[in-house]
Amino acid sequence: MKLERHKKILELINQYDIETQEELAEILNKEGYNVTQATVSRDIRQLKLIKQNVNGKHKYVVLQNNIEAADNRNIRILKEGFISMAMAQNILVIKTGAGMAMAVAATLDAMHWNEVVGCIAGDDTIMCAISSVDDTLIVMDKINRLLES
């Protein structure tokens, strides 16, 4: 749940000029995340967000060096949860450990690969819709390279 919320926070601060923790908490609650200002404060600290003056307004932004840390975290989650994958035309079915599918799917979404249209996760299975059969092979190769790193 926290990983999904963190992903949503990053999406929101890129989409809106969010100036306060209260404003972020309000938007998250409207999006279906039941959060308090204290939870948002912890999330901001964990994501290492900073306030920056952009066009005369102070808003939350991600430090550029956080991207590498996020990538390392994503790779760790993928390695911890991944069991196997199988191709079904332009659909990639990924098996994970019990309860890990949501985290691995969120990780794949966070990679922002152009080939991935979207992921749906259950408890231990993910269905990734991929743009084409050729792109499915590319995504499988990318996943294999991450797992080997």
Q: How far is the CA of 54 from the CAs of 11, 36, 61, 87, in angstroms?
A: 17, 26, 9, 44
Confirm whether pTM is higher than 0.95: no
What average pLDDT does the chain have?
A: 86
pLDDT in tens, 64-96: 544 444 567 778 888 889 999 999 999 999 999
Which residue ranges form the domains of the chain, and what is each CATH number?
2-63 (1.10.10.10), 69-148 (3.30.1360.40)
Q: Dihedral angle at the C-alpha atoms of 83, 85, 91, 33, nearest 10 degrees? A: 10
By DSSP bridging, strand 125-130 and strand 116-121 are: antiparallel
Complete DSSP assignment for 85-100: EEEETTEEEEEESTT-
d(CA 15, CA 80): 30
Two structure tokens written together for 88: 């079904």
pLDDT in tens, 14-35: 888 898 999 999 999 999 999 9
d(CA 106, CA 73): 12
> Which is nearest to 28 in space by CA: 8, 47, 13?
8
